């Protein structure tokens, strides 16, 4: 019987996937449906995916599943058969990555959580059954040709910064749970207008659309399959692409190029750049945007303090790291001055 957890060091796994020659396909999908026993479901799914050599990150909860995975291309049909075994997942839409080198994940993690998207909702009357209407790329373009249509980006600020749809409204927040009440409040004077919500793959905007309807909004839509599916449909149907810049993704790539425009700036020197990196200092790992010149000059770090840190003896680094609580270490506008040290 296959082990239900990974037992190999992540460093070794990462090295293994970097040297592996097996063609892989990066896929994301989600589904809101009732899971009576998430832990039982999790263990069964882990065994099935492990046999197919699937890697990635999957969250399960009583409300459904949220997955970002890397599948050996030769096992794609077998993977689809695996999903079809579960009635709610039968023929589910799979979002295929726009840019993919097959190195997006190096371990299989399946975790049971309270919710597949942390939303902060405690209202017992809220139900995902009543959600906004799906729109595909063609319908999205049609609706957004009308200046009265409101487009809301339900992603985090650092995702919005490197790429977003034309005239999209940013909900200036670090977390989805903060965005939901903010979106309803910001739109309270527009309850009768067409409102389209979007996110990376559809999971956040689908829940957001249901929340807006729960708050009394009338004409709420959400982009089916999110930005990933929109880009796919635009290419297949030769439609006008209304997304500008880069689509941030939550795997090793940290982004997919959608258009050739660079709409953001290096957080250190201010030059045009849209490459997200994590500070190489293991006691920091700040997620921020860094251009190639700054990467070379700062040796992959976010500032002078971290650059000095990585040159300390290994034992001293380890000692100092043990006293550091990084928390949720993501660049935000309040930190912009501290990074500009070049």
Q: Using an 8 Å Cβ cutoff, are 288 and 277 in contact?
A: yes
Measured CA to CA, the distance from residue 156 to residue 130 in angstroms comes to 24
| Closest to 106 measured CA to CA, from 228, 42, 20 | 20
Calpha distance 46→54 (Å, rounded) = 9
Integer Cα distance of 84 and 40 in angstroms: 18
- Strands in 195-198's sheet, in edge-to-edge order, are 133-135, 220-223, 195-198, 150-153, 169-170
Which H, E and C letters describe 158-207, residue by residue? Answer: HHHHHEEECCCEECCCCCHHHHHHHHHHHCCCCCCCCEEEECCCCHHHHH
| DSSP H/E element including 48 | helix 38-51
Q: ∠ CA(151), CA(156), CA(162), 5° rounding?
A: 80
In the block, which residue shows the tokens 């919710």? 115
Q: 306 an active-site residue?
A: no
For 255-278, the DSSP string reads -EE-SS---SB-TTT--B---EEE
Tell the burial category of 205 from Cβ atoms under 10 Å away from its Cβ (0-12, 13-18, 19+).
buried
Asked if 260 contacts 170 with a C-beta cutoff of 8 angstroms, the reply is no
Ramachandran class of 121: left when φ > 0, alpha when ψ lies in -120 to 50, beta otherwise = beta
Annotated active-site residue in 199, 279, 302, 306: 199
State the residue for tokens 């197919």. Answer: 52
Active site residues: 199
């Amino acid at each position: 019987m296959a082990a239900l957890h990974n037992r190999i060091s992540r460093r070794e796994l990462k090295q293994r996937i970097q040297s592996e020659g097996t063609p892989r396909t990066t896929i994301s999908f989600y589904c809101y449906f009732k899971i009576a026993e998430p832990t039982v479901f999790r263990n069964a799914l882990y065994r099935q995916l492990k046999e197919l050599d699937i890697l990635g990150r999957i969250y399960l909860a009583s409300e459904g599943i949220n997955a970002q995975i890397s599948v050996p291309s030769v096992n794609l049909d077998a993977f689809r058969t695996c999903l079809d075994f579960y009635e709610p997942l039968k023929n589910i839409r799979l979002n295929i990555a726009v840019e993919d080198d097959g190195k997006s994940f190096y371990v299989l993690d399946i975790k049971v959580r309270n919710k597949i998207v942390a939303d902060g909702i405690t209202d017992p009357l809220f139900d995902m059954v009543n959600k906004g209407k799906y729109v595909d790329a063609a319908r999205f373009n049609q609706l957004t040709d009308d200046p009265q249509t409101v487009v809301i980006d339900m992603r985090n600020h650092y995702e919005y910064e490197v790429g977003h749809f034309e005239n999209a409204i940013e909900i200036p927040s670090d977390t989805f749970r903060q965005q939901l009440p903010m979106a309803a409040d910001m739109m309270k004077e527009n309850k009768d207008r067409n409102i389209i919500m979007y996110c990376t793959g559809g999971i956040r905007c689908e829940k957001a659309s249901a929340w807006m309807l729960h708050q009394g909004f009338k004409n709420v839509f959400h982009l089916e399959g999110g930005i990933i599916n929109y880009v796919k449909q635009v290419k297949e149907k030769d439609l006008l692409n209304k997304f500008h810049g880069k689509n941030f993704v939550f795997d090793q790539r940290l982004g997919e190029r959608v258009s050739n425009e660079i709409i953001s700036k290096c957080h250190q020197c201010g030059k045009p750049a849209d490459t997200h990196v994590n500070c190489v200092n293991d006691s920091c790992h700040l997620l921020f945007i860094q251009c190639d010149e700054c990467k070379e000059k700062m040796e992959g770090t976010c500032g002078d303090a971290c650059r000095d840190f990585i040159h300390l003896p290994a034992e001293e680094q380890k000692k100092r790291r043990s006293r550091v609580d990084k928390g949720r270490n993501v660049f935000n506008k309040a930190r912009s001055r501290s990074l500009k040290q070049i």
